[in-house]
């Protein structure tokens, strides 16, 4: 309590400062009176006594000053006085304050908004218990990462039974399911997990008991299959009602009982949100050959999640897993020596690909803030120079150097504080807009806003910005020599050169940073142009796509019947062909640019690989007219034909990349391919087709094998409909045809292939746009800064220019002088920016397509742009100076 009072006392006394001042004056006055009376009693006349008392007393104000030292709030008093002086002097120049606060507000706002995204994505804890103990297990081919990450059911269970490092393990996979039982049949994203999933994550269902051991059996626990809802789905489709527990849903036509609702924000390992949680039973009976769960080579799960036992490190778990994997591999030699099981922290999986991109953007925004800081520093510096006389007078009156520096710094910190307040408002507004736009584009982006760490960041940014902006003017204040300044009449005819040099250095740095950002933006723009020009290897125009799912009892009595599936496909296709405006119809299991892809291990029967070695290729199941419809050219041999039916000899096509990679200098036609998936009988290669870009426009073509759907039926296919005229106008009639044929068949993603193509460009367009905006902002700030500095420079040299002109200098001489000075700074800045750009754009390399990070054209064009804009910024103030009449200039004070 006593210590609290000690702490508070200075504050309290400071608040009662006026009263104490008055009391002190009273007290001293009283002392004087008593002394006077004493002298009168001693025999002096009243007037004499008053003088004597005053003499005896000493300098009243001096005593007051000394007495104040006895009060412990002296420092606070000083600070308060400084603050008031600063606020008063700022209020006198509202325009200046507005310019500074808005500049800093934009800079700090952008930084704060980005920091809160960065924080939410990279650092904010996930909605699970003790995240540090969660790791991810995935199998990958060491020498062929293209074949993808994942884990198979059987391998997982063998490992899980042996590894002792984990307290619990669960499988995780994604799957699109057909859902009926609540209105219209739909397809919905679901996650397939082990019943231990919630235990491993350390969370409890918000409703119900959740999965229990046994639910993963085929048919469920005691003959009842189970499903859980995600919180968002529960709210959106089930109205958040507690009555959903025990309700039956038809999922892929199997009855499932709702056994629980998972907490809000629970993520299914990948970033895409899901609606339902299913058990591993969704991938079939591991004891029945042919099901996904029964294949040791088919890594149908994205990963396994494990919770480490307390005290077990990730390294220890990694060592144990790799030892057990080796044991597994020796028991199953067909897994191959290249397959490894990786162990990584969970967060790594979630953010690994986002991290570099976010840091890159953060770097850019921070650079813009630095440029803004330089502008503000220059404004403050110019202000400090015009205030030199004031500072000099104060210094002459005894203000210490430290007091002057302190006040200059206080001014900039105060301005930065106001900037930060504005920045926080802007950031909150921006983040609100962002969430409204894309609520699911990033993991755990919900609840994004100004949280305490974000607030702390903004404060730190403001403090740092204040110091950064204030340090140059503060140093200039230190250089104020009272005598010289007062002698020169405060015109500052000569600046001492010091502040001028600082200004020049700042502007040079600014030009360098702006050039760097411009180059980055320019390269991304060029890259986008190149991407838009890319020929994907097929014609995406006028093609409508629709994904359909043909699973369930209607197409098979037990499991899945390929002949029924293909019979349905034939019916669907002929019905669609009959639609007016439809030119061609075909289908494929995965269509380019739609984000669906397959990979399989294979061998060429005629050229067997040494034992233990494997190669893999992308795999496509397509309809007969697929190549004609997409206009993918045939290079040699023949395409698929109607004669390649279910019972005809199995055939396959390969693309040119396949031949280049695996069969260079050989004729592939007639060779036999043995695939890991898609029917085990070797297939004869009957032709070679041209390459297509399947995954993305900037993705190099990969080796591909095509197999006719007629010889290996897939239940989920994408229909391709080439139309006459606009493909979009056919969407509703296509949907109608499909529903007439089978009202319970889920149909999704009725989109044109062009839309997919545009969507695949969206991230590139977005980053080019973002960079462009920031580079534009940087350019604008730099030009404004340059103009400001040159303008200031010229106005201070008006007299000198007048003398030069009076002595016979021509306009050209003066123009050359000023322009030369300005452009020299710009030139040095460009050179520095070039060096910086060459280094910084290396970080941009993964984001570029078809353009080198050192593309000379981009550098030259942007240097010319920046140079000419800068030239203009230098020219305008110079012209103003030239218009001044020399006699006026000479008289100007």
Partner 1 sequence: MTKEKADLLQGTLDLLILKSLQLEPMHGFGISVRIRQLSNEMLTVEQGSLYPALYRLEEHGWIKAEWGVSDNNRKAKFYQLTTAGRKQLQVEEQQWSRLCTAINLLLSHG
Nearer to partner 1, 13 or 748 (CB): 13
For residue 66, give both structure tokens: 């000394």
Q: Which stretch binds partner 1 (CB under 8 A): 68-76, 205-213, 291-299, 544-552?
A: 68-76
What is the rounded distance in angstroms from the CA atom of residue 617 to the CA atom of residue 658? 8
Nearer to partner 1, 49 or 376 (CB): 49
For residue 333, give both structure tokens: 């030699």
Tokens 């004869």 — which residue? 684
Nearer to partner 1, 38 or 90 (CB): 38
Nearer to partner 1, 28 or 399 (CB): 28
Q: How far is the CB of 15 from partner 1 (least distance, A)?
A: 16
Binding residue (CB under 8 A) for partner 1 from 1, 55, 61, 69: 69
308 neighbors 133 (Cβ within 8 angstroms): yes
Q: How far is the CB of 18 from partner 1 (least distance, A)?
A: 16
The residues, any chain, with a CB within 8 Å of residue 727's CB and separated by 6 or more, are 542, 543, 544, 721, 752, 754
Length of the chain: 893
Q: Which stretch binds partner 1 (CB under 8 A): 21-29, 142-150, 347-355, 527-535?
A: 21-29
What is the rounded distance in angstroms from the CA atom of residue 119 to the CA atom of residue 473? 34
478 neighbors 403 (Cβ within 8 angstroms): no
215 by Cβ neighbours in 10 Å (0-12 / 13-18 / 19+) ranks as: buried
Binding residue (CB under 8 A) for partner 1 from 11, 22, 25, 66: 66
Q: How far is the CB of 86 from partner 1 (least distance, A)?
A: 28
Nearer to partner 1, 70 or 808 (CB): 70
With b meaning 16 or more CB within 10 Å and e meaning fewer, what string describes 801-826? bbebbeeebeeeebbebbeebbbebb
Residue 9 binds to partner 1 (criterion: CB under 8 A): yes
Residue span 221-240 as binding mask against partner 1, x where in contact by CB under 8 A, dash where not: --------------------
Nearer to partner 1, 25 or 319 (CB): 25
Helix (H, G, I), strand (E, B) or coil at 671: coil
Nearer to partner 1, 58 or 743 (CB): 58
Closest CA to 198 of 231, 238, 165: 231
3-class SS letters over 191-222 = EEECCCHHHHHCCCCCEECCCCCCCCCCCCEC
Alpha helices, H only, 288-333: 314-331
636 neighbors 687 (Cβ within 8 angstroms): yes
- Helices 401-437, 452-478: axis angle to 10 degrees equals 150
Q: How far is the CB of 482 from partner 1 (least distance, A)?
A: 29
Question: Which residues face 74 on adjacent strands?
Answer: none
641 neighbors 706 (Cβ within 8 angstroms): no
Q: How far is the CB of 113 from partner 1 (least distance, A)?
A: 48
Binding residue (CB under 8 A) for partner 1 from 23, 78, 348, 606: 23
What is the rounded distance in angstroms from the CA atom of residue 281 to the CA atom of residue 275? 17
Binding residue (CB under 8 A) for partner 1 from 11, 25, 67, 646: 67
What is the rounded distance in angstroms from the CA atom of residue 606 to the CA atom of residue 616? 16
Nearer to partner 1, 38 or 129 (CB): 38
Binding residue (CB under 8 A) for partner 1 from 42, 43, 70, 743: 70
Q: How far is the CB of 82 from partner 1 (least distance, A)?
A: 23
Strand 615-622 and strand 704-708: the pairing is parallel
Binding residue (CB under 8 A) for partner 1 from 24, 52, 126, 803: 24
548 neighbors 747 (Cβ within 8 angstroms): yes
Nearer to partner 1, 41 or 88 (CB): 41
Nearer to partner 1, 66 or 532 (CB): 66
Closest CA to 561 of 677, 451, 646: 646
Q: How far is the CB of 91 from partner 1 (least distance, A)?
A: 34
Nearer to partner 1, 56 or 483 (CB): 56
Nearer to partner 1, 63 or 455 (CB): 63
Q: How far is the CB of 415 from partner 1 (least distance, A)?
A: 36
The residues, any chain, with a CB within 8 Å of residue 645's CB and separated by 6 or more, are 710, 711
Nearer to partner 1, 9 or 501 (CB): 9
User: Would you list the DSSP string of 527-581?
Assistant: HHHHHHH---SS--TTEEEEEEE--SGGG-SSS--HHHHHHHHHHHHHHHHTSTT
Q: How far is the CB of 78 from partner 1 (least distance, A)?
A: 17
Q: How far is the CB of 43 from partner 1 (least distance, A)?
A: 15
* Stretch (H or E) spanning 590: none
26-65 binders of partner 1 (CB under 8 A):
26-28, 30-31, 33-35, 37-38, 57-59, 62-63
Q: Give the interface size with partner 1 as a residue count (CB under 8 A).
A: 25
- Count of CA atoms in the C-beta half-sphere (13 A) of 2: 0
Binding residue (CB under 8 A) for partner 1 from 16, 45, 72, 146: 72
* Stretch (H or E) spanning 138: strand 134-141
Q: How far is the CB of 784 from partner 1 (least distance, A)?
A: 52
Q: How far is the CB of 3 from partner 1 (least distance, A)?
A: 13
Binding residue (CB under 8 A) for partner 1 from 17, 71, 575, 871: 71
Q: Which stretch binds partner 1 (CB under 8 A): 69-77, 238-246, 741-749, 798-806?
A: 69-77
849-878 binders of partner 1 (CB under 8 A):
none
What is the rounded distance in angstroms from the CA atom of residue 734 to the CA atom of residue 737? 5
What is the rounded distance in angstroms from the CA atom of residue 814 to the CA atom of residue 807? 12
Q: How far is the CB of 84 from partner 1 (least distance, A)?
A: 24
Residue ranges that bind partner 1, judged by CB under 8 A: 9, 23-24, 26-28, 30-31, 33-35, 37-38, 57-59, 62-63, 66-72
């Amino acid at each position: 309590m006593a210590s609290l009072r000690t702490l508070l006392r200075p504050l309290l006394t400071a608040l009662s400062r006026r009263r104490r001042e008055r009391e002190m004056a009273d007290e001293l006055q009283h002392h004087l009176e008593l002394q006077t009376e004493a002298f009168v009693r001693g025999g002096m006349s009243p007037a004499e006594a008053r003088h004597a008392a005053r003499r005896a007393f000493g300098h009243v104000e001096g005593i007051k000053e000394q007495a104040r030292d006895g009060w412990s709030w002296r420092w606070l008093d000083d600070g308060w006085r400084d603050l008031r002086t600063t606020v008063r002097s700022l209020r006198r120049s509202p325009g200046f304050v507005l310019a500074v606060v808005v500049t800093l507000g934009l800079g700090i706002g952008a930084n704060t908004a980005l920091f809160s995204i960065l924080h939410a994505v990279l650092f904010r804890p996930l909605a699970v218990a003790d995240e540090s103990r969660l790791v991810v297990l995935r199998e990958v081919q060491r020498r062929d990462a293209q074949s993808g990450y994942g884990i198979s059911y059987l391998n997982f269970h063998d490992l899980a039974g042996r590894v002792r490092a984990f307290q619990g393990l669960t499988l995780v996979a994604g799957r699109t399911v057909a859902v009926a039982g609540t209105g219209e049949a739909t397809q919905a994203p679901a996650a397939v997990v082990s019943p231990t999933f919630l235990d491993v994550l350390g969370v409890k269902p918000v409703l119900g008991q959740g999965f229990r051991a046994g639910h993963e059996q085929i048919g469920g626990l005691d003959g009842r299959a189970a499903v859980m809802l995600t919180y968002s789905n529960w709210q959106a489709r089930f109205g958040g009602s507690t009555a959903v527990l025990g309700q039956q849903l038809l999922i892929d036509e199997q009855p499932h009982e709702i056994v629980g609702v998972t907490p809000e924000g629970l993520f299914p390992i990948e970033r895409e949100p899901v609606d339902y949680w299913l058990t591993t039973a969704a991938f079939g009976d591991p004891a029945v050959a042919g099901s996904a769960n029964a294949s040791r080579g088919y890594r149908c799960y994205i990963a396994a999640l494990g919770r480490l036992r307390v005290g077990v490190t990730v390294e220890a778990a990694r060592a144990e897993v790799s030892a057990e994997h080796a044991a597994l591999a020796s028991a199953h030699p067909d897994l191959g020596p290249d397959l490894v099981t990786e162990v990584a922290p969970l967060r790594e999986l979630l953010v690994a690909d986002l991290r570099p991109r976010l840091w890159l953007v953060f770097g850019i925004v921070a650079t813009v803030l630095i440029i803004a800081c330089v502008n503000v520093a220059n404004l403050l510096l110019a202000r400090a120079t015009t205030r030199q006389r004031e500072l000099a007078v104060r210094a002459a009156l005894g203000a210490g150097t430290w007091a002057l520096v302190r006040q200059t710094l206080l001014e900039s910190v105060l301005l930065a504080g106001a900037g930060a307040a504005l920045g926080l408002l802007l950031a909150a507004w921006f983040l609100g807009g962002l969430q409204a736009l894309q609520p699911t584009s990033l993991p755990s982006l919900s609840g994004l806003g100004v949280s305490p760490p974000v607030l702390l960041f903004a404060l730190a940014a403001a403090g740092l910005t204040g110091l950064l902006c204030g340090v140059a003017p503060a140093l200039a204040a230190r250089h104020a020599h009272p005598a010289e300044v007062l002698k020169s009449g405060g015109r500052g005819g000569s600046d001492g050169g010091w502040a001028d040099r600082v200004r020049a250095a700042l502007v040079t740095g600014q030009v360098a940073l702006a050039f760097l950002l411009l180059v980055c933006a320019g390269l991304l723009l060029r890259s986008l142009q190149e991407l838009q020009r890319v020929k994907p290897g097929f014609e995406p125009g006028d093609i409508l796509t629709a994904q359909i799912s043909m699973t369930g009892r209607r197409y098979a009595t037990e499991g899945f019947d390929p002949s029924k599936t293909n019979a349905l496909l034939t019916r669907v296709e002929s019905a669609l062909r009959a639609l007016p405006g439809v030119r061609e119809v075909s289908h494929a299991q995965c269509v380019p640019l739609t984000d669906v892809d397959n990979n399989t291990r294979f061998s060429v029967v005629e050229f067997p690989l040494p034992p233990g070695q494997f190669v893999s290729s992308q795999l496509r199941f397509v309809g007969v007219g697929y190549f004609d419809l997409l206009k993918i050219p045939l290079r040699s041999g023949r395409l698929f034909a109607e004669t390649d039916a279910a019972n005809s000899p199995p055939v396959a096509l390969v693309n040119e990349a396949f031949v280049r990679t695996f069969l260079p200098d050989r004729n592939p036609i007639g060779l036999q391919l043995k695939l890991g998936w898609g029917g085990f009988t070797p297939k004869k290669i009957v032709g070679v087709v041209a390459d297509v870009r399947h995954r993305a426009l900037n993705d190099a073509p990969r080796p591909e094998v095509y197999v006719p759907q007629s010889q290996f039926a897939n239940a989920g296919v994408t229909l391709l409909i080439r139309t006459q005229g606009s493909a979009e106008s056919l969407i509703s009639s296509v949907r109608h045809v499909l529903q007439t044929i089978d009202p319970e068949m889920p149909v999704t993603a009725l989109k044109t292939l062009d839309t997919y193509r545009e969507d695949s460009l969206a991230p590139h367009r977005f980053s080019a746009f973002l960079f462009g905006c920031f580079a534009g902002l940087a350019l604008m700030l730099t030009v404004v800064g340059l103009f400001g500095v040159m303008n200031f420079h010229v106005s201070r040299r008006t007299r000198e220019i007048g003398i030069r002109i009076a002595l016979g200098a021509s306009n050209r001489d003066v123009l050359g002088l000023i322009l030369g000075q300005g452009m020299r700074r710009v030139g040095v800045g460009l050179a520095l920016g070039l060096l910086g750009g060459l280094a910084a754009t290396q970080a941009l390399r993964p984001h570029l397509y078809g353009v080198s990070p050192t593309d000379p054209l981009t550098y030259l064009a942007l240097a010319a742009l920046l140079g000419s804009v800068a030239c203009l910024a230098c020219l305008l103030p110079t012209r103003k100076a030239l218009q001044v009449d020399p006699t006026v200039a000479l008289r100007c004070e």
